[in-house]
Amino acid sequence: MRRSMLGRLAVAACSLSLLTAFAPAAVAQADGGGHDRSYKKVGYFTQWGVYGRDFQVQDLKANGSAGKLTHINYAFGNVSPQGRCFTGNVPGEADAWADYVRPLDAANSVDGVADTGEQPLAGNFNQLRELKAEHPGLKVLISLGGWSWSTHFSDAALTPASRKAFVESCIDLYIKGNLPQDGARGGAGAAAGVFDGIDLDWEWPGSAGDTDTTYRPEDKQNFTALVKEFRTQLDAYARSQKKKTKYELSAFVPTAPAKIDAGFDVRRIMRDLDFVTLQGYDFHVSGEPRTAQQSALRARGDFSVDGTVDAWLRRGAPANKLVMGMPFYGQGWTGVSGGGDGMGQPATGPAPATWAAGYEDYKALKKLADSGTYTIHRDRRGGHAWLFDGTTLWTYDDPQVLRAKTGYIREHGLGGAMFWSLDADTADGELMTAVDRGLRGR
């Protein structure tokens, strides 16, 4: 999943399918925070989205998403060359300013109160703490790695000693909340209670990821051991704190069977993971020479969500621990020739876009769809949609597609839905609302 999705766009699709299960969906039960606990609704909040997109934690309250989510995954935490979790102000590597230093004014604060210069925790972490106070059932996980920050995962997982030290560092920084001192900010326990667990986003154990990411054949066994080490240390710390509920542990996992087999001992890791989020997008990307679907529910002979689910089920994953990934963005091509509806046709390159060529937020694509310039096309059997104006094509998920996908989740007894990323939704949370209603059968 991405530290900047920019790195993903130049890479050919590295995902494949997984989704046919059994087991009826659990009966809906709501906790004190008003969340439907039958299904997980996991949204990624991007550290860098607070800048150009100006998407603050408070916006999750304003657009109604906070009351519909069960989990927020904070993207991302990085792994140092020494195999440790770390933060700081290192361009391209860590952003403590966004995480816990940056003061928020009253208008951008969840509780409506401006940060002061003396408080030890500010920035996104403090806002997440405030959001959790208003939604007691909401859990926040720190997501480690992503496409650009998986560079040193293989080294960190290499030996029993390196795994132990790596996990200790992550728990110390994020679970115990012992942040580096930055002026008045940080210090021992400053972020304690912000995070309820850890999400492992190693892309990918045992196979190629970003250009500088190390991978080894032994990553598969080492990832299994790393998951076990996280589970062991998280449980031990919970016991030491007399915590009534355990810290959660999840992982983002690929769609391509070759990548699954290279890096994931499915039956063993699923014993220690509370759930996995499935890559349900980037099946095809705008760097490819022909237009193609990026997130189809079903696609004969091609990558698809259904195929991804099936691949994980066949390898022993329980259906109720599989959380379907959904894109809140689109992949786009320009210079499309060949006529017709544009799908499967040659293109000259990625389409111009707001933040990165070939990648556009749903909120911008909705405006294109409403402009009258583009025609909306649908493959109803395949469960995907695209926009085409005769030259430029965007493949994306809209509320109608998401209704089909949530119906699939309920039908097959899956664990829920995940979305990348929350800052790409509309100001009124249109996609989040569609997913929430769909999982409730409405």
> What count of Cα atoms within 13 Å lies in the side-chain half-sphere of residue 173?
23
Q: How far apart are CA 248 and CA 282, in angstroms?
A: 26
When computed from its CA atoms, the radius of gyration of the chain, rounded to whole angstroms, is 21
Task: Identify residue 367 by its one-letter amino acid code.
Answer: K
Q: How far apart are CA 342 and CA 340, in angstroms?
A: 5
CB 224 within 8 A of CB 269: yes
Strand duo 197-201 + 185-187: pairing: unpaired
Strand duo 89-90 + 94-95: pairing: antiparallel
CB atoms within 10 A of CB 36: 18
Instruction: Write phi, then psi, for 97 (nearest 5 degrees).
Output: -60, -50
Our answer to whether residue 203 is catalytic in this structure is yes
Q: Across the strands, what pairs with 45?
A: 74
CB 280 within 8 A of CB 327: yes
CB 185 within 8 A of CB 120: yes
The two three-digit tokens of residue 117, written as one number: 């210069």
> Which 8-state DSSP code applies to residue 162?
H
| N-term to C-term CA, the chain | 29
Active-site residue, selected from the candidate residues 203, 229, 248, 360: 203
Q: How far apart are CA 343 and CA 384, in angstroms?
A: 11
76-88 burial, b at 16+ Cβ within 10 Å, e below that, comes to bbbbbeebbbbbe
Alpha helices for 273-390 (secondary structure H): 305-314, 362-371
Q: How many helices (H) and strands (E) in the chain?
A: 13, 19
What is the sign, positive or negative, of the torsion defined by CA atoms of 233, 238, 244, 246?
negative
CB 322 within 8 A of CB 309: yes
Three-class SS of residue 379? strand
- Supply the residues annotated as catalytic: 203
